[in-house]
Structure formats: structure tokens, C-alpha cells
Structure 1
């Protein structure tokens, strides 16, 4: 009997241990929880506006408002001062003249974050590898109405504020992040410091673009529904399955692989099939053609010629250089994903956060 009881305890321990250590299982249809946080960035305050309104004034010295690194948000202290420009927010400096950080455990951190993100009294620029990001704050108007207030930060100052709905309910004061490659993160405040509540590399096909703060403003997502049945191609360097127009397909061979320098490469024949772009080749040189409907009344034929092991390519007869040369495998020719999609006028997003890629099969203005 003791042996049986001990065996049961051992099995129970194994089950509990398995539950604890089993890694996150990614859901289907190209919606994956990311392993890595976003790239680091800082929002630098360049301008302020007094509480009486009117003109925008420049800080004598730009100062950080908010920074993000390794999944952690850091806010900076601002206080109300009064001078010839009126009452306004000004950075709090220590005895050495350095900006003072807000204590993550500060009980007023939500109010201080709101001051920085949505007060519209401080205006800043993005310092980071991202082109633009949308930062939002979750709010509640009444018992049944929740919304995001968000601002867009880029290399230039944007003084506008936007509002979106939400696909989920979060604690009031939660902060959202979205970049132009559709990396999305929500950090929530549950009474002690901000913590990651959600982190995904989004496939916009699964979301109402007016319920993710910033989604309606970035990239080609707003064009998805204009051409029924086109949708996105989603694929990953970690999983051979692919998703085309929200339909999942299981493959044994990877259509997306990474080079030694971690550059994403895609099987050219596969890309040809997905984009309805005919391809011909002789084992050395391959030509792919795509008929692009750039505007309602304009159609353009794009012809791209690629050569195995050569960085030189021809686009409509004009020589261009690829970031890396195509290479041959047992399954076919693999080409640099981002380069080739750009040349074929197919908007493409590669996310290092989870090694997934989105390729727009529908036509839309090209992202820069």
C-alpha cells in the first residue's frame, strides 16, 4: 500500500512539474505569443503646451519622458512650474542635472504615465529602430464603455491624439504598444508596477482594426477588406505550417528559413504560387512576374529576374542589388524575403520577436 501511495505522489509531482515547465503552446492561425519583447526605445520630450493652451514651446534641452527595454517600461518625473510661458510640465532633475525616474512601485504611477502619454501637454519624438509606434492608455467612460486613447510617436512630432475601441477589457491605466510590423503589447497595472499582460505579433486579419490602438493608422491593414479573398500570407521560420487568407495549411518543408546572418529567405516557387505571380527558371536564373493593381485605374506588370548565388537582380530590366544572394536547396530556390517582396510591390513584415512574416497578397500603397 505504501508503495502505491508513494507511486501516486511521484506521478502527481511529475504532472505538476510538467504543467509548470511545459512551454507556451502557440495557438493556430498565425497568432503567436512572442518569446522576445519589442526593440528598446525612448520617447524624448521636445515641446510642451501650457495649461492655458495657446502656443507650443520648445524645451531648452530635450528630455526623456518614457523608455522601454527588455520588456520594462520606465517613466520620468515631471512637475508643474510657472514661467513667462505660463504653467506647464517640466522635467524633475536630480542634483547632477539628470532626469529623475518614476519609482515602478509609486502608487501614483498610472497618473504619472497618463501625464506623459495622453495629457497632450508634452510632445515628443521616438528614439529607436522603429519607424513609428502607437502608445495608448486604457480608460473607462462609464460602466459599459471602454476605450483606448493613443498617440503616435515617430521621428517627427505628432500633436494629435486618437481613440479606438478594444477587443478585451484591461485594468484602467493599462498601456499599449503597436509598431508598424504589428508587434502588439499591453502592460497592465494591478496595484504594483506595470507588468506584461499581452504580447503578440498580430495577423491583422483576425482583428477589427478599430479595436487595436494604432492598427487603423499603420501600414496596409486598412486595405485588407477592399479585395475579398486576398488577405495575408503568414509563415514562420519556427513552424512549417502556413496561413493563407486565414486558412491554415500543414507542410513538412519550411517555406521560410533564416540565413547564417538571420536574414529571412522564402521559397520562390511558394511565393510565386501565393502571390499568383507566374515563375519560370532553368536551374540558374529565375523570372517571376506580378501584375500589380497600384490604383483603381492603373495596372503595372513587374518582372523580376534572380540568379542563384548572385546578389545582382533585374527589375523590369534595371539592375538592382539584393541584401544577400539567393541559394538553392533540395526543395528549390530561396530568395531574401524582404528584398523580393519589396521589388514585387507586396508589403511585407518580418518580426524578429517570433521569427514570423506577414506578406500582403492584396494591393496597397507600399510601406517605406
Structure 2
């Protein structure tokens, strides 16, 4: 039987994360996403995904220092960022910079556990710097260099905006990165494992993942959500009327439904709480619109919000430009990508699915001079 999109096909075993789509549950290494979002930092989650266990205080502090030391990017990469056309989408910038960084790695093709961990930390630490530098260059702003005394999320907001974030802003982005860090065999993670299964290098795996994430049916949905919310707000229409009109026109509403979850995405629950807190501080009033859209879609279509829906409001209230929504998704998900890459390298089997051929067979070949027009 052909299962289009490989729906429900089990292709490998993993202990990295678990989803129960019917119950709306998500766990990283056996820990509930709700407990992790409430109590952990992104660095702690990255350690968990990469090393397989929650760190002690000493282990976490050393890991934080290690990542912070790796935040600076090579002058050659900065030169690359400055040379790309202004019209280049930030995700294209990111994947190009990652690929270029790989070209300078003298151990590019060394695929061993300790070296893979080193590469994982390098990639994880440099992605925020690439995103922030590229954004400020494109807008003619002076670069704000990374600081080692700030956490992963706080440092990124500092480099992006030129000022330290509030405690709530730091917590909001930190939690968002946790919630985006890992999600079993989503399209981008599977793309990274496909690359690794050929024994290609880790940078190639991350480039494969970033290219896949950019699609509007994957990471690109959060940008579509904020564009929708802004349009509703500016139209002056009731959210319900706006959505109904779009549905009657046969248009899809971004941020709803999920390939795995049959109920509300557990990540959306956590992001919704954050969105309301940020909304009160910023007075953007987007959450009231979002909630009405959510209620309407559940009642009318039986569709629940996914992670992209409330991510859009969180990013907007943090003052993050729309075209950076997908790169920040990547900034969180890279912890999961690298964990899966190391997992694939450890017990590698070339991923090579089959297809059913439905074309003609045994056709007679005709020489070109004898073919009819």
C-alpha cells in the first residue's frame, strides 16, 4: 500500500522525544514539555537533547559557558553576510552561512561522537549571531556583538535590538526556543537524518533541515499567521467574519491543524500563556483577536491551534520582524536536529524508501530521425 507523505510509516526507533497525538502530549527524553517549559532554560534543554540526561548545576554552568564562548563567528562569515543581496530571505542567509562555515571546518568529514558533539555546540551557538548580524546589516545598523554574560535567549535579543530584554521578554523567548527544540520526525528533522544516513557531514544535515523548514507547510506557517492577524486587525472586521469569508473562498487558515495532534498542540498551550502576558505588557491586543480566531476554528472546523499560531503573537510582541520568524524557529530546533544527526550517525542505516512505478513499461525505442512530430 502506498502511504502518501509516509503517513503513519515507522522508519526508525529513537529515545529523543515522544508524541501522543490523541492525548496532546509531548516529551523530551521522557520529560513533559510542560515541566520543561515551566522550569528549565533552553541551554538545559539543549544539554538534555544532546547528552541524554538533565544536567547537574555544575554541568549546566559549564555548558552555558562553553556555548557563550562559541558565539563569535569568523570574519569570513561576516564578510559573506555583508555581500548577500538585500532581497535574500533571512532563512536563505542562514543556510548559506551555515554551509560556508562548514567549508572552513578542518574536521568537516570527521564523523565521530566527540567531534559531532563539538560541531553541534558550534552550530547551536553561532546561529543566533548569524541571524542578528544579518538583520542589522540589512537595515544599515551597527553590529551588536555577543556577550558571554547573557543567556542564550537574552543574548540574541540584545544583539538583535541593541538593548537588554526585560525579564519577561527573556523568559518568553527562552520558553519559545524550548518548545521548538524538538518534535520527533518532522519534515526538517527527517531531511537532516536523510543527509546523515549517507554519511554526509553535519553542516550538510543542518543545511538540509533549514531548507526544508522554510516551506510554508512547515516552519513558514508562523509568518503567515502574523500576516493574517495584522490583516484582521487593520480590516476592522470581526475576526469571526474575516475567517468565515476566507473559508468560504476556499482559503486555508494558517496555524491550525497538525499532522500528528488530534487535539490542541501542547506547545500552543504554553505559548498562549506567554502571549497573553506579553500582550498586556505591549498593549498590542493581538491575543484577543487570536483567541476569537481559535474559538471560531474549533467550533466551525474542529481544528485546534498548532505551535505556529501563538508563536506569531509572541514574536510580534517581542518586536521581532516577520521575516525572522522562521530563522528563530530554526534557532530553537537546531538542538533537536543535532541530536538526531548524532543519533543517526551512531547507528546508521542508509534511508532509502521504495516507490511504486505507475508509468508505461517496455516501450519501443525509436531513433530520433524516425520520430513523428
TM-score (norm 2): 0.24
Bigger proportion of residues as helix: 2
